[in-house]
Chains A and B, each alone.
Chain A
């Protein structure tokens, strides 16, 4: 397994959000974390990304406990794109993306070498920001910024990409473009991906597996077809749904928000 958790618990100060969780990610797999607001998806992603330290249990990256590896060693294998980025003033897109090479550079290397430059150019091309590479990041639109930060993560040449709601600031077209790009990277480069996604239909369409989180625990995990059932959705989100199968995958329609009228299996009382 590329990434694995064992009895993982964690959260903020004395308030555990994730409790006793087992999870694994295979090479080349796309796993999406879905769940209601406050269920612990982003906290889980931070624990997996070594941004938060576990209160109990362990996260293993390439079979080695992540907390025993240096931040630089982790960053060489895994990139993390937080939900909200700090927009740096006075940096161009190229300068921003170049920072993605930091984990691969010794401290005395100040400028990009040929390999770094190739990775930066490739990342900028992949997110289609070539024409904007010398623009200030602060002058970009929300969608362009998101793509610039994705390029920063890609420039790290990671094996695993962790993305916390990457489609938040994007319109429908850019949402699809971004996820198609990730799918291509997933297929062509064997990039393993974990995303937190609010949009269940996008999770169903692009993920190999879905992990449904409720109150810091796994409510269901498996293929989209196995996880996105009326019963699971009612239990986790408290919604009544209609699910149909289309050419691009499952489509989930939220019909009503009436948890009081449903039992915990999603069936009418």
Chain B
């Protein structure tokens, strides 16, 4: 009987090692591919701080592709871990990082910024990644989450809180639509492009801030693994096992706001990863023990984000497809296949 337990632990360790290997491979591939193809050998050379065959490759990798690949991995991990926290906290498989209105709040912030430029006759604001957009999105996400956190103090039932979050989302979406109705076509286009999402918007200068915010959120999520395990038993049982529910709930909602709000502000509202990756993680790991699941979800989020980014940039071409469409188009069949396969094997 002990051997079956050891076999399970070994299989889980093996899965983590395989995922790390895949992630490293994709990371190198994302540095090598794009409108200009760079041999993998030269990618490694540049990463080692040496000169590649062509001097321009060094600049392409270090100034553009490396920040983008790191952004993709961080964003994918952040959204996946946010989704995992939300699904466990609300005991709802459809919960994701955006259900509490983070995305809608950020969208409202950006839409307000877009309209403000129209009203004030200011120069058209830059696309995703501009300081104005990031601040507007962060303020919008924080504003809506502030309302949800206040509601959380009064509403004891998590499902009711989930519904309140969704309603806040609808409310902000309605305001966004009204704002867009009164905007000029150029501003609507600016806003729409922001909603497509992109990992290429975080500059080298912004990367340390993005990295710091996401790593802080991930560290908080890891520290809550045991609390998440208790929440698997439902709120009543979790409380009788010593969990201070109100404190944990606020901490997790705040952390999801930090992670999802940061990603939305810097990269736009990226759908799918937050809901799908936790399911994929549980299916592959065959466990819901968050101490083991959390690292797997972090790695899977990073992997799927890198794959989506690789495909969206159509290697060898100048065109870049909307990231949001690619995450769902590629991810959905893979995730459905793995989940169905696992379910039928159990």
A contact residues vs B (CB 8 Å cutoff) = 46, 49-51, 70-76, 78-80, 82, 85-86, 88-92, 94-96, 99-100, 102-103, 105, 107, 110, 131, 133-134, 156
| Contact A86–B287 (Cβ < 8 Å) | no
| Contact A99–B242 (Cβ < 8 Å) | no
**Complex interface: chain A residues within 8 A of B232 (CB):** 86, 88, 91
Taking the closest CB of chain B, its distance from the CB of A204, in whole angstroms, is 28
> At the interface with chain A, which of B190-198, B204-212, B221-229, B325-333?
B221-229
| Contact B237–A85 (Cβ < 8 Å) | yes
| Contact B282–A102 (Cβ < 8 Å) | no
Closest 10 CB pairs of A and B: A90-B288, A75-B242, A86-B234, A103-B242, A72-B242, A80-B240, A88-B232, A90-B287, A71-B244, A71-B242
Give the distance in Å from the alpha carbon of A155 to the alpha carbon of B81 in the complex: 30
Give the distance in Å from the alpha carbon of A82 to the alpha carbon of B285 in the complex: 29
**Complex interface: chain B residues within 8 A of A105 (CB):** 226
Which residue of chain B is the closest to A131 with respect to CB atoms?
Answer: B1
16 more CB-based (< 8 A) A-B contacts, given A99-B229, A110-B225: A70-B244, A79-B240, A82-B236, A85-B233, A85-B234, A88-B233, A88-B288, A89-B288, A95-B289, A99-B230, A102-B226, A103-B241, A133-B1, A134-B1, A134-B8, A156-B241
B239 within 8 A of A: yes
Taking the closest CB of chain A, its distance from the CB of B76, in whole angstroms, is 22
Q: Answer whether A91 and B289 are a contact pair too, CB < 8 Å, given A99-B229, A134-B4.
A: yes
B286 touches which one: A51, A90, A102 (CB < 8 A)?
A90
Size of the B side of the interface (Cβ < 8 Å), in residues, is 29
| Contact B241–A100 (Cβ < 8 Å) | yes
Give the distance in Å from the alpha carbon of A71 to the alpha carbon of B248 in the complex: 12
B contact residues vs A (CB 8 Å cutoff) = 1, 4-5, 8, 91, 223, 225-226, 229-230, 232-234, 236-237, 239-245, 282, 285-289, 291
Taking the closest CB of chain A, its distance from the CB of B217, in whole angstroms, is 18
**Complex interface: chain A residues within 8 A of B243 (CB):** 71, 102
| Contact B242–A76 (Cβ < 8 Å) | yes
| Contact A75–B240 (Cβ < 8 Å) | yes
| Contact A102–B241 (Cβ < 8 Å) | yes
Give the distance in Å from the alpha carbon of A94 to the alpha carbon of B291 in the complex: 15
Which residue of chain B is the closest to A105 with respect to CB atoms?
Answer: B226
Q: Answer whether A107 and B226 are a contact pair too, CB < 8 Å, given A51-B240, A82-B236.
A: yes
| Contact B223–A107 (Cβ < 8 Å) | yes
Q: Answer whether A82 and B237 are a contact pair too, CB < 8 Å, given A131-B1, A133-B1.
A: yes
| Contact B226–A91 (Cβ < 8 Å) | no
Give the distance in Å from the alpha carbon of A110 to the alpha carbon of B226 in the complex: 7
**Complex interface: chain A residues within 8 A of B291 (CB):** 110
Give the distance in Å from the alpha carbon of A133 to the alpha carbon of B229 in the complex: 18
Which residue of chain A is the closest to B293 with respect to CB atoms?
Answer: A90
14 contacts between A and B (CB under 8 A): A71-B239, A71-B243, A71-B244, A72-B244, A86-B232, A86-B233, A86-B237, A88-B288, A90-B282, A100-B241, A102-B242, A102-B243, A103-B242, A107-B226
Taking the closest CB of chain A, its distance from the CB of B342, in whole angstroms, is 11
Give the distance in Å from the alpha carbon of A78 to the alpha carbon of B286 in the complex: 32
| Contact A51–B236 (Cβ < 8 Å) | yes
**Complex interface: chain A residues within 8 A of B241 (CB):** 75, 99-100, 102-103, 156
Give the distance in Å from the alpha carbon of A198 to the alpha carbon of B287 in the complex: 36
Taking the closest CB of chain A, its distance from the CB of B84, in whole angstroms, is 12
Which residue of chain B is the closest to A108 with respect to CB atoms?
Answer: B223
Taking the closest CB of chain B, its distance from the CB of A31, in whole angstroms, is 18
**Complex interface: chain A residues within 8 A of B244 (CB):** 70-72
